[in-house]
Structure 1
Amino acid sequence: MPTADRAHRDFIEHAASKVPALTLGFWIVKIAATTLGETAGDWVSMSLNLGYLVGSLIFLVAFVILVAAQIRARAFHPSLYWATIVATTTLGTTLADAFDRSLGVGYPGGVSIILALLALSLAVWYRVEGSVSIESVVNARVEWFYWSTILFSQTLGTALGDWVAGDDRGGLGLGYGAGTAIFGGCLVVIALLWFVPRVSRTAIFWAAFVLTRPLGATLGDLLDKPFSQGGLDISRLGASGVLVLVMLGCIHWMPQRAARRATSK
């Protein structure tokens, strides 16, 4: 029996090691990945004129393949993990645009629908597993919950960014620069809450994870939108290429390490 217990502990630590630790490097790469998701998603759906539906189908296939590869992996591989994150950000971009624009519900309607989906995903995950902490990601079923929830959080973040910055479809019309500043400020507040002992670390993580997406969305739009719309008019493909290099550089110079359960020795 002790051997079985030891094997179970080893399995838990091994499975959890595929999730990166929440370091400063993690959040920097996450913001770069969310910005890349905006520029690359818009490049496929808008610049290539494939539309939101076709773009979503393309990124959905990539998402499923990469999540399956992530789950099958026997250890944490930063390149695989961040490729999967980029797949969620690009898919989140086209899905949010489809909700907001193709369905005709506008930005407030899109935010409401996607927020409900995110809440449902977290509720089902918690109901089944008893925790939504990243430290509970210890088997394939929980990994699917993890990645599905991340996808909804990325989609919600895109919708939030468009709602704050956009001046059509019920948007607040604050602009991309102001949107970037607002979401950046919110992230600073959340970062400070990390040092308040009584605040749930799990709640802080998911709040920060959601808010890095609209920060990336507004930053991506700031880079590639025309001057007439308040952007810098950089090509989507060019901006995406630079962001890929930024991500690779960050992963190299700020190596990602595997997360460990708090109970592990």
Structure 2
Amino acid sequence: MTTTDQLRPPHVRRALSKVPEVTVWFWVIKVLTTGMGETASDWLAHLFGPIPAVALGGLALVAALAAQFAVRRYMAWVYWTAIVMVSVFGTMAADVLHVGLGVPYLLSTPLFLLALAAVFALWYGSERTLSIHSIRTRRREVFYWAAVLATFALGTAAGDLSATLGLGYLGSAVLYAAAIAVPALAHRAGALGPVTAFWSAYVITRPLGASVADWMAVSRARGGLAWGLGPVTLAWTAAILLLVTYLAVSRKDVGTAGNVGE
């Protein structure tokens, strides 16, 4: 059955989309937000204490998502601000379960995986698509951001799990750097559909970025470079600001008709 959305010309559908086209810039900034969210969460918890940090993170997330839902089309600054705050709060959610409630990563990781699967099941059951380039209605946008939040929490737990199982942060970074190539290669070989490949890679970006950022920040005794949570957070934030500014001006992520995630 042809839907009203499918009857629109491609350039009109892209203009109505609330998310960016999937380009190399998308993946670079996505990895940067995951690392920045990981260290920022820990840094804020050290500065203000866990409870105030979670409260501040939650309020900032609500404000960022409210702005994202308020705009009528994709805007780089609004969208990536929301992603950053999801990253920070998603890390906090995973850490609260482990540190605050004592839930081991061996349990929280599959729990977050089940939560993500439930979001995908509800989304597909309602909309018959999981394509990020179909985010043109309020309901689909709600599903999309629920999935994004679940992927960040899942990735955080998975990354911490692999680090605590003996791989360390650098070893985990190498593992996830190799893992993220799998869906890309499978898609290129025709063995994996674009939507499945996209969401698989999207989940893996979280533990990849977080592992690299943690490796940079933690002490040498923990296998890191000991650059500190604050400096790493600020450096990754500066990189994000630079790239988002470039996209906001150049609009390289608007209307390029990328097919990953279609």
Q: For the residues of structure 2 that align with 1:14 and 1:25, how far apart are their CA atoms?
A: 19
1:112-131 pair list within 5 angstroms: 112-131=110-129
Structure 2: how far apart are the matches of 1:123 and 1:152? 13
> What's the counterpart of residue 32 of structure 2?
32
Quick check: 2:16–2:136 contact (8 Å CA) kept in 1?
yes
Instruction: Name the counterpart of 1:169.
Output: none
Secondary structure, in 3 states, of the residue corresponding to 2:166?
Answer: coil
1:67-96: CA deviation from partner (whole Å, max 9, x where unpaired): 121121123211111111111110111111
Contact 1:121–1:145, Cα closer than 8 Å, also in 2: yes
Alignment correspondent of 1:19: 19
2:102 match: secondary structure: coil
Taking the TM superposition and a 5 Å limit, the aligned residue runs for 1:81-230 are 81-166=79-164, 172-230=165-223
Separation (CA, whole Å) in 1 of partners of 2:176 and 2:108 = 18
Taking structure 1 as the reference length, what is the TM-score of the superposition?
0.87
Whole-angstrom distance in 2 between the partners of 1:232 and 1:261: 37
* Code of the aligned partner of 1:86: V
Output the aligned Cα RMSD. 2.1
SS in 1 for 2:198: helix
Provide structure 1 residue ranges, at least 5 long, that are not aligned to the other structure: 167-171
* Aligned 8 A contact 2:26 2:253 in 1: no
Moved more, 204-213 or 125-134: 125-134
What residue number does 2:253 align with?
Answer: 257
Normalised by the size of structure 2, how large is the TM-score? 0.88
Query: d(CA) in 2 for partners of 1:194 and 1:23?
Result: 15
Equivalent position amino acid for 2:49 in 1: L
Contact 2:14–2:254 at 8 Å: present in 1 too?
A: no
Q: CA deviation at 1:198?
A: 4.3
Residue 232 of structure 2 aligns with which residue? 239
- Residue-by-residue CA offset, 1:166-210 (whole Å, 9 max, x unaligned): 2xxxxx121011000000001122222231234111111111110
Stretches of structure 2 lacking an aligned partner (at least 5 in a row):
none
Counterpart Cα distance in 2 of 1:21 and 1:261? 6
TM superposition shift of 1:9: 3.2
Task: Kindly provide the amino acid, as one letter, of the partner of residue 37 in structure 2.
Answer: G
Residue 194 of structure 1 aligns to a residue whose secondary structure is helix
SS of match in other structure, 2:167:
coil
Matches of 1:136 and 1:261 in 2, distance apart? 13
Deviations 1:75-118 (A, max 9, x none): 32111111111111101111111112222121111101111111
The residue aligned with 1:42 is: 42
Which residue identity does 2:33 align to in structure 1? A
Aligned-partner SS, 1:185: helix
SS at match of 1:174: helix
Using the TM superposition, give the Cα deviation of residue 131 of structure 1 relative to its aligned residue in structure 2, in angstroms: 1.2
